[in-house]
C-alpha cells in the first residue's frame, strides 16, 4: 500500500497528514478553515484516495501559516507515498467545469518543481479563505511533492466555483498520474531510470 504519515509542528501550526493513495475513503479534514476543509475534501474524494488532515494553527492571526504548512505536509506525504514511482502513469491532466467556471490542471510527477498558475479570480476572499492563498497552497504542495504543476482558470465569475473547479481538476489529474501506467509497465516512467 502506498501510504504516508507526516507530522509537522512549528510555533505556528501542529499538523498531521495521513494519505493512502490506494484506497478510496471518506476524507477527514480539520484545517481550521471551513472553506479549506471543503477544498481538501474535494482532493481526497476526486483523487480516489483516503486523506486525513488535522491542523491546529494560529488562525487568530490569519490562515496563511495553516494553508502553507498543510500544503507542505501534503506534498511531503505524496512524495513519500509514491516511493520510486515505478509503475505509475506519471502525467495527469483534467478539465473541470463547475457551472460557469472552467479550470484545467496538467501535472507531471517528475521530481522537479515548477508551478505555472494562471487563475484570475475577481474576489479577494471565498468564505474565510483569502483567494491569494490558493496559489500559495498549490506552490507549497508542488514544491514539496517535487511536481511540475500547471493550473489554468479558463473562465469563471463565481469565485467559489472558480476555486473549487481548480481543486477538483487537480485531484482528477493527480488520480490519473498516480494510477497504474496505461501500457502496463512496472518500470519507473522515465528514460533516465529515475524520477
Tens of pLDDT along the chain (195 residues) come to 999 999 999 999 999 999 999 999 999 999 999 999 999 999 999 999 999 999 999 999 999 999 999 999 999 999 999 999 999 999 999 999 999 999 999 999 999 999 999 999 999 999 999 999 999 999 999 999 999 999 999 999 999 999 999 999 999 999 999 999 999 999 999 998 888
Please give the distance of CA 57 from its chain centroid, rounded to a whole number: 19
Domain layout of the chain by residue ranges: 3-178
Contacts of 109 (CB under 8 A, 6+ apart): 82, 85, 88, 90, 91, 92, 145, 146, 147, 177, 178, 195
pTM above 0.85, yes or no: yes
- Contact between 177 and 89 (Cβ < 8 Å): yes
What cell numbers appear for 31 in the block?
Answer: 484545517
Helices (H), the chain: 34-47, 64-82, 132-145, 159-178
Residue 54 β-bridge partners: 16, 30
| Homologous superfamily of 3-178 | Imidazole glycerol phosphate dehydratase; domain 1 (3.30.230.40)
Query: From CA 99, how far away is CA 73, in angstroms rounded?
Result: 31
Amino acid at each position: 500500500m502506498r501510504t504516508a504519515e507526516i507530522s509537522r509542528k512549528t510555533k505556528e501550526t501542529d499538523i498531521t497528514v495521513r494519505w493512502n493513495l490506494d484506497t478510496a475513503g471518506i476524507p477527514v479534514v480539520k484545517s481550521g478553515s471551513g472553506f479549506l476543509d471543503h477544498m481538501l475534501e474535494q482532493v481526497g474524494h476526486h483523487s480516489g484516495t483516503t486523506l486525513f488532515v488535522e491542523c491546529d494553527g494560529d488562525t487568530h492571526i490569519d490562515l496563511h501559516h495553516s494553508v502553507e504548512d498543510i500544503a507542505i505536509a501534503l506534498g511531503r506525504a505524496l512524495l513519500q507515498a509514491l516511493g520510486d514511482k515505478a509503475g505509475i502513469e506519471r502525467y495527469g491532466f483534467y478539465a473541470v467545469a463547475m457551472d460557469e467556471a472552467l479550470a484545467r490542471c496538467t501535472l507531471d510527477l517528475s521530481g522537479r518543481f515548477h508551478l505555472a498558475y494562471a487563475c484570475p479570480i475577481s474576489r479577494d476572499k471565498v468564505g474565510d479563505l483569502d483567494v491569494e492563498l490558493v496559489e500559495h497552497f498549490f506552490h507549497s504542495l508542488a514544491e514539496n511533492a517535487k511536481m511540475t504543476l500547471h493550473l489554468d482558470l479558463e473562465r469563471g465569475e463565481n469565485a467559489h466555483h472558480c476555486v473549487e473547479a481548480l481543486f477538483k481538476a487537480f485531484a482528477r489529474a493527480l488520480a490519473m498520474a498516480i494510477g497504474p501506467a496505461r501500457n502496463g509497465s512496472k518500470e519507473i516512467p522515465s528514460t533516465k531510470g529515475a524520477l
